[in-house]
Structure 1
Amino acid sequence: MKRTHLPLNGLRVLDAAARHLSFTRAADELAVTPAAVGQQIRALEETLGVVLFRRTTKGLELTPEGEAGLAALRHGFLQFEEAVRAMQAGQSSKSLTIAAPRDLMHKWLMPRLAEIARNDGELRFVLVPADDDLDFTEANLDLAVRWGEGPGEHEGEALESDGMITVERPGGGVDTRISWPGCLNDPEVSLVRVGDAGLAIDAAAEGLGRATVPELLVRADLAAGRVVAIGEPRPYRFGYWLVAPLPQWRQKKVRALVDALTA
């Protein structure tokens, strides 16, 4: 069934004017001018086809038509307020759904989320693999991590990194290039090809060759001695970005997580 278009601004003005029986006091409450209140009431009367107020020697009074709908109107505004509170309750929720590439999730994100959760036992995370076409609404996402030159169409903040770095097994492996989708190596001349940068790091750690991977992704493996760096990191135009559409990005729980992940 098609819903009737509701003149919500006019109805809000009607409620205030009816409570005060004064356009001036209603205007003070609504932070507008008395003239604006009068215009809204006249527009509402035209829309509804009834007279809502009349002026008498005693001042402003409601007509029977105006009086007839007030109880239902005020109940409706209470319902609106309840609906808004229910929607805003998610702001205080401690559950966040995050999408990220699988290799970043395993190598970097999960250890950090575990550390963050140790400081707040109420936090709950739902982790889903990210694809190239992030649909925040369909997946009910709060935050995502993408690999690229910027946040794209969303709001975003870059994860700090030194770019790309080449690694191999400690003690040296074979002089073979390990390639992965998006790597700097030419996959046509690579003898070892894997599905992502995380697998490239693991392949290098096993001695299958040398992998050039995001420095951010391999930090933990370098620190643990699983692989060693060959040369210094090189700047690269691509990087990892925390991203979300503006409504999600403004949520307090999302901002707190972004701050923790980028600290």
Structure 2
Amino acid sequence: MKRSLLPLNGLRVFDAAARHLSFTKAADELHVTPAAVGQQIRTLEEVLGVVLFRRLTRNLELTPEAEAALPALRDGFAEIETAVDRMQSGQGDKVMTIGAPRAVIGKWLSARLAALGADAPEQRFILVPTDDGTDFATANMDLAVRWGALPAEEELSGARVAEEQVIVVAAPAAAANVAAPADLLTLSLIHHPGESWQAWFDGHGLVHKDVDGGLSVVDEGLALDAAASGYGIARVPLTLARDDINARRVVQLFDGIPSDDHFWLVAPPERWRQAKVKAVVTALTA
């Protein structure tokens, strides 16, 4: 019989009746009436073209064909239960799939999720790098971190992580020799997509002879690591730099510049309404 035609409900009733050898006890287990069980069994026998039970005076007896089929049927139900458990475990209340750029995962998100996990050890997080633009449907995400303006997509709801600033950072040894913006003219520059050193020097009325020189990296996280290693100076969002600043791996130079862009926690409305998503968003924006 084709999979699409399998009478799964009838087979489930048959399994219960076969275990109890009683329509009444099967009905109690399934929370239906004995008459409903009897009707399901008669319909199943008609569909399959076989007799499943011999109706005796006080009880039921399985036919040899029905008894021979039971082990495989029960193995099949066990496999279905396992498959359903696996599907549910991926989106259960204690499992959160969060997408974020690698720099955000490494410099901000992981430490905060570790703190959440310490308070709720049963909570499980799955992190998905989204530098390539992975969407919710593709990665089955509950929540994502995005950089920019308020997401314009109607299918997403968002909460801003914090008021953002873009700051200049350097290793403590390099920072010790910086007293004014002009001192940066002699330091190596660290570049990453989305930040312009030219605009920064123009804003301070300075001309850097090699403003495009120095080290180029793929994201803010690597820019922070390069600055901490002593390569030079980097411009990065304060949100990502805060932990490195607190750990004295880097030092902030000068006041930050308020940013029109921010980090946002975003999710489709149906996920945004989930208690687990609300709890994590509240914790990450506190």
* TM-score, L = length of structure 2: 0.58
- Equivalent residue, structure 2, for 1:181: 193
Once the two structures are aligned, what percentage of the paired residues are identical? 46
- Equivalent residue, structure 2, for 1:257: 280
Answer yes or no: is the 8 Å Cα contact 2:166–2:237 preserved in 1. yes
Answer yes or no: is the 8 Å Cα contact 1:112–1:261 preserved in 2. yes
Tell me which amino acid in the other structure corresponds to 1:138: T
Cα 1:253–1:90 change in 2 (3 A) is farther
Say which of 173, 181, 185 aligns to 1:171: 173
Q: Distance in 2 between matches of 1:92 and 1:180?
A: 37
The answer to whether 1:244 aligns with 2:246 is no
1:67-90: per-residue Cα shift (whole Å, max 9, x none)? xxxx99xxxxxxxxxxxxx99998
- Equivalent residue, structure 2, for 1:198: 221
Deviation at residue 190 of structure 1 after TM alignment:
3.2
Q: Distance in 2 between matches of 1:201 and 1:135?
A: 27
Say which of 247, 253, 261 aligns to 1:230: 253
Q: Distance in 1 between matches of 2:127 and 2:160?
A: 19
Structure 1 gaps of 5+ residues are 1-70, 73-85
1:87-143: per-residue Cα shift (whole Å, max 9, x none)? 999886210100001011011100000000111111001101013534211211000
Cα 1:132–1:151 change in 2 (3 A) is farther
Cα 1:88–1:163 change in 2 (3 A) is same
1:172-194: per-residue Cα shift (whole Å, max 9, x none)? 16612211011132496131101
1:43-84: per-residue Cα shift (whole Å, max 9, x none)? xxxxxxxxxxxxxxxxxxxxxxxxxxxx99xxxxxxxxxxxx
SS of the aligned residue for 2:141 comes to coil
- Equivalent residue, structure 2, for 1:115: 115
Q: Distance in 2 between matches of 1:91 and 1:104?
A: 23
Q: Distance in 2 between matches of 1:199 and 1:131?
A: 14
Cα 1:91–1:141 change in 2 (3 A) is closer
Q: Distance in 2 between matches of 1:240 and 1:230?
A: 22
Tell me which amino acid in the other structure corresponds to 2:244: D
Tell me which amino acid in the other structure corresponds to 1:157: A
Q: Which has the larger radius of gyration?
A: 2
Cα 1:211–1:228 change in 2 (3 A) is same
Higher relative contact order (CA 8 A, sep 6+): 2
Structure 2 gaps of 5+ residues are 1-38, 41-84, 176-185, 199-209
Q: Distance in 1 between matches of 2:256 and 2:120?
A: 34
Q: Distance in 1 between matches of 2:91 and 2:130?
A: 23
Answer yes or no: is the 8 Å Cα contact 1:101–1:129 preserved in 2. yes
* TM-score, L = length of structure 1: 0.63
SS of the aligned residue for 1:181 comes to coil
The answer to whether 1:144 aligns with 2:144 is yes
Answer yes or no: is the 8 Å Cα contact 2:189–2:211 preserved in 1. no
Which has the higher mean CA deviation after the structures are superposed, 188-197 or 143-152?
Answer: 188-197
**How many residues align structurally?**
182
Answer yes or no: is the 8 Å Cα contact 1:162–1:233 preserved in 2. no
Which has the higher mean CA deviation after the structures are superposed, 137-146 or 185-194?
Answer: 185-194
